[in-house]
Amino acid sequence: MLLQELLGNDFIVKALLFNSENLSGKTIPSDFDRTSLLYTRIWPFQFVPEISDEPKTMITMSFIFKPYGSGKNLKVSNIKFFVIIHKSLMSVNTGLRTDYLLHHIDSTFNQTDIFGATKWLFDGAGDFIVDTAGNWVGASIAYRNVEFT
């Protein structure tokens, strides 16, 4: 469900697919297979992708699980999204690509009920440098579960 939400958001897909500054002027081809972004631009686990010379935009994520009910079951209690971008792609017509993506991730997930939680709330954001040369930069946004169903 989480990946479907990311792949179903046209704003997020455009920011991952196109290296252009003018994302609003881009159209996702009707025959584009959005699942092709999995494990090339979106990874449902946390890691630092192989850094290459090819500028691109990527999303990785991490999860924290906690016991639920009698303690025999686990539920996701925290989700953190990491947006990693080559610095040459940072500028978009609305500002910074990191801010653009964090905004659209937030509008997709804040106050939602994915993973059996009745509500996910914003739990912080920040930025980071991915490589020692500073060519790859990133931002993160986190959510915490406030109530299990």
CATH of the domain at 97: 3.30.2000
Q: Which of 13-22, 32-41, 64-73, 136-145 has the lowest mean pLDDT?
A: 64-73
Q: Are 56 and 19 in contact (CB under 8 A)?
A: yes
**Number of structural domains in the chain:** 1
Structure token pair of residue 147:
């109530």
Residue 149 above 70 pLDDT? no
pLDDT digits (tens, 9 = 90+) for 5-53: 899 999 999 999 999 999 988 999 999 999 999 999 999 998 777 777 7
Question: What are the pLDDT digits (tens) for 76-133?
Answer: 788 999 999 999 999 998 899 999 999 999 988 876 766 555 678 889 999 998 888 8
Q: Which domain holds residue 19?
A: 2-148
Return the HEC string of the chain: CHHHHHHHCHHHHHHHHCCCCCHHHCCCCCCCCHHHHECCCECCCCCCCCCCCCCCEEEEEEEEEEEECCCCEEEEEEEEEEEEEEHHHCEECCEEHHHHHHHHHHHHHCCCCHHHEEEEEEEEEEEEECCCCCCEEEEEEEEEEEEEC
pLDDT value of residue 116: 57
What is the pLDDT at residue 118?
A: 63
